[in-house]
Structure 1
Amino acid sequence: MLKCLIVDDEYISREGLIDSLEWAEFEITIVGAAQNGVEGLRLFEEHRPDIVVTDVKMPLMDGLSMTKEIMNIDPTTKIILLSAYGEFSYAQEAIKYGVSYYLLKPVDEEELRNTIQEVVEEIRVSQALSSDKQITELFTAQKYVLCKNEELFIRIGDKDLFFEKMIVAQGFFRSKFIQIYVIPQGRMYPMLETLSKGFYSLSHQDGNLVEAYNEANKAFRSANFWQVDKETFHNVDQQWYKWKKSAKMRNDTIDMVTVTLLENTSGNRLQHLVQTLEGFIRVLKQFCGIDKEQIYFYCYELIHHLDERFFLFNDQNDKQRFKEHLYQNEVFEDLTSFLKREIIILFDTNELSPTDNKIISKVKNIIHEQYMENIGSKSIAEQIFLSPNYMGQLFKEVTGKYLNDYILEVRMKEAKKKLIETDKSLSVIAEEVGTSSQAYFTSLFKKVYQMTPKEYRRKIKKI
């Protein structure tokens, strides 16, 4: 997977760039998002991304200055510069510093997609050219020449020299002996019956050593990450195809996890949380063999989705730190154990309480911002992705008030202010506080304050 860093001082722009593309389609993972050149340079040195997408105008250090520093560190980095300024001087300066592409903001999604595709192709060609000599030497040292349509195979298990003549590379990983085989076409499945466990990938590159090695390396990384113990063999290519075809199912799984947790917030909440997360992990296991970067990304998507609903993190820095710790897990079992443990801790420290409930705070904010509109439980629930019934029950549990009563209370308080501070007619005030008519407004006001709006205005003026 290629690595990409996003740098932009505007939060909406940063998130927009991250969300505008399915980066995994380009085999790219976003390793960081910075809000200025100083932070961007720090993240670059930490992650050494292949691609940097950056704005020009930023505080502390602008995009051009950061680009200059990056090119001093690694001149092979591909820089995509974004700017609201179309002057030639900016483009000229960008070229001087080695910027590959210069796009004007607001960035057109299709233009960004095409640019990323071009950059990826450039990087792949460059990687192939630079690694061809190294890879050729590797296989020559093994005294083995790859031939057309051979199958690349990786095995994890006890050392077994029975197939030694077909071994391309071998070594130890986490105290387990690793062997990479090159097996003539047609002999794959008889061999699988004699081996204990592993991953394999097919290469049809007509003797292209670079592509063949990349295929073997892809299977090698999968073997290291998944560490399977059963007598199961996984075709990495087939699993990748299955992954791409299951995007909707995976998104539905994240929605299912969220809804389940939203509707089980008391009593046996922890039990539901554990069961739901175990179900999520079972879904991941269906894709045993897929690149670990895809699993990282999918797990972080779950975290991002839950944070939008439950406000799990204090700020974006906390969220970024969680992501960095998530990506440090090099084995699937370690990753899922970390995910399960940390989500349970996050939920445990964000328990709902009558005095501090962020969900209810959001509901109240919506009411105060939209009381003049035709709002109700359904429209509010849609904005925070809850069912109306559950939201109403939660609101009553936390505030001691029914949701509709609270909406009425807000509207009537606003009406009192307008009656005191303005000379607006009752019909205008009725419309401004979201009631359908003056007569209905009058009846509601009298219900709450035991007097009509006119009587209240006269009473206030006498004081």
Structure 2
Amino acid sequence: MLKLIIADDERIIRETISTIINWKQYDIELVGLCKNGLEAYDTILDETPDIVLTDIRMPGMDGLELIRRISETDLNTQFIILSGYGEFEYAKMAMKYGVRHYLLKPCSEVQILESIQEIAQDCYRKSSLERSYPAMSSIRHNVIFTILNNAICQNRPYDEIMRAYDPYMDFYFSSYHLFYIYFLEQKDLEEFLQQLKPYADSHFPEVTIHGIYVNCTLLLFFKEFAGNYQDLSQFFSSIKFPGRSPSLETEDLSFKNLQTLLETVLDKVKRFSMIYYINDFRILSSCNYSFIMEEAEKQLSEALQTGRTESADSLINLLSEVTDLSFLKQLSNSLLLKITASDNRLSTIDLTEWLLNVNRERNLEQLKLTLAEKLRKLLSAKPQTSSISAMTQQICDYVNEHLSDPNLTLKRIAEQHLFMNTDYVSKKFQKETGTRFSSYLTDVRIERAKQLLVSAESDKIQTIAEQVGCGNSPQYFSQLFKKKTGMTPSSYIARIHGEG
């Protein structure tokens, strides 16, 4: 589902647009109504919308300045300009920032909807082509494989199993596509993947492809992208294996989200005793190790709750009995994912490094030693008693270290630093701090600015604006400062020195 924000200083206009169209019918969620540019800017940073419908003339920050500032961030927000001013100059300036839709007031419901639907296609295309960082891709593969194993060996509802991994994947809002590849014999599976990899690298290199194989059928699924699925189906059918028939057959389906897809897939594959998962075109086997999986998770929970050395020893002894390297890799990854999701003693950065190192390990005994050492260290550590989680603390630390960056966004921190789902991070940050990220960022910037202003002269305003992340825009800095403090930076300096 795409997210939409409407920004207009005329209340009747923004509220009318918000109600005349049934946005959910078009798979769009209205996440914000903003009365000026400054409010819209903060809301965009918090909600990371796909589409913003904005007026040009607004107090505080006009629509063009809003578009300019967002265009300098890593957000993929698409804009539609709604204005009563028909001067061509506005359109030309907007085009510099990639805006292709310019609607003049008054405009009809049909015109708005046509623009929205056209941009929606671009959004889906860009969403599927977002850079998939190797660390994030590794986490996604491990999450899906863990869910697969849990679904096999645990008698729990699928949505309950998935809920534990909300920090790492979007199960609810992104559409997914599933291909069934029939009549693919197990002896030909590796050859099939070797032919698929260069094709995928060439035609859709940024798409993470998940796969599950059972009983001569391969199920490949991925987030929907603006490609030609018919071409992909023809490619599958064109793959031949010497001396065998019949040829491969395919069937493809679309799903509104990953949760629905997984519920369908897990029902089909969980009855098989041997299941194979395709992790970055490598084959991982998954047996019904029900007892080991259940017992390991039980002992992990006990060790986390009690902190007793005996519980950790019992878990490590259980893992030492595993004789399958692939299974031990996945089980260890599953246990550390659970620690990260439920406890603050392991950060997502540490988790990412662990996943990458484990995937490279080729020696079963060495992995047992490494895993035992890691678990003893983690389970003997005391969880932090801070009222905020390690994740939120990492966000605060990152903001302090990169405050001068004018394009600092929660999306960047979540995806490139924490390797977590942006929406999850945003909600958890707000819940723990009691404030939205944009408000927190502004507060930190203003507090830093106050410190600098006390020891600076008034002609240093531009330098201070740059140091606190307002870029080469002292006017924006002054507007932001006045909004938060009720006075301009110059007035604040005068007041501090007893001149005001």
TM-score relative to the length of structure 2: 0.32
* Higher normalized contact order (CA 8 Å, seq sep 6+, divided by chain length): 2
* Higher gyration radius (CA): 1
